[in-house]
Amino acid sequence: MKAWKHFKTITKHKMKVGQLCFRIGLYKQGILHDMSKYSLCEFLTGARYYQGTKSPNAVERTEKGYSMAWLHHKGRNKHHWEFWVDFTHKGCQPAEIPAQYIFEMFCDRVAASMIYQGANYRDQFPLIYYKRGKHSYIMHPHSRALLEELLVYLDQNGLEQTLQYIKKRKRDYHL
């Protein structure tokens, strides 16, 4: 039963991200978003730790101290800031994230808030969630600035205007 509920949740999330990506013209990313969640490594963890109100990876991390499913996921999905962190002789160094993945990251955060909050969703939730964790994010300053710009814009102007704004911003990056 948990496996079926997890399948429905990740599929609903994937479809919502896909819809948002399509609305801003990121068709390939909308189709391919989070395909790794259906891999054995990620799916089995998701089914085992499924709760319906938060990420199963967070539950696995609480139990084990790490999440193998998350390590697998972030290494395969460019819309996660962790994908863009390298380890050098200087320590952890963030690479600048191409704008198309910041736009997908935005869609991912909005969709996750919509799925987990359901009817209680409000446009400020993605920004609130971001602010709770941003102190631990290792992001290039330009990437961080663009993501924050979009989340603040969403909070102040709503989803419809933000999607239109992103479509205009995409032109700045020649996407």
Mean pLDDT over the full length of the chain: 96
pLDDT at site 24: 98
Tokens linked to 44: 């089995």
Say whether pLDDT at 116 is over 90: no
pLDDT at site 122: 98
What percentage of the chain exceeds 90 in pLDDT? Answer: 93
Out of 15-19, 69-73, 168-172, least confident range: 168-172
Say whether pLDDT at 21 is over 90: yes
Closest CA to 108 of 139, 135, 74, 61: 74
Average pLDDT over residues 121-138: 97
Amino acid at 74: K
Average pLDDT over residues 4-8: 96
Return the CA Rg of the chain. Answer: 16
pLDDT at site 61: 96
Beta bridge partners of 92: 87
Say whether pLDDT at 69 is over 90: yes
